[in-house]
Amino acid sequence: QSALTQPASVSGSPGQSITISCTGTSSDVGSYNLVSWYQQHPGKAPKLMIYEGSKRPSGVSNRFSGSKSGNTASLTISGLQAEDEADYYCCSYAGSSTYYVFGTGTKVTVL
């Protein structure tokens, strides 16, 4: 099972919006509404930001939103802030034999 494809890096200025894509296949992203997104700061454990494609856990800012179209999921960060600078990973359920697959990861830089 190959990793989901994400851009290596995305950057934006404070206050801007950025979108990170996560491209899979019809066997994972395209088949299930079970894409989640994780934020990871250096030296820290990942943190759940979006689950089931577009739902936000309690405590996560509404500046983070998720969507999906076909085999591609997306994470949008609006009103970019310095604290959003981190690595972001998508993850999709891929069925009862492969189970889960992560994306390649995207480094977000706030200019």
Contacts with another protein, 60-99, as mask; x by CB under 8 A: -----------------------------x-x-x--x-xx
* String of DSSP letters for the chain: -PPBB--SEEEE-TT--EEEEEE--TTTTTT-S-EEEEEE-TTS--EEEEBTTTB--TTS-TTEEEEEETTEEEEEE-S--GGG-EEEEEEEE--TTT-EEEB--EEEEE-
Nearer to another protein, 17 or 98 (CB): 98
Using the minimum distance from each CB to another protein, give the nearer residue, 34 or 78: 34
CB of 3 to another protein, least distance (A): 7
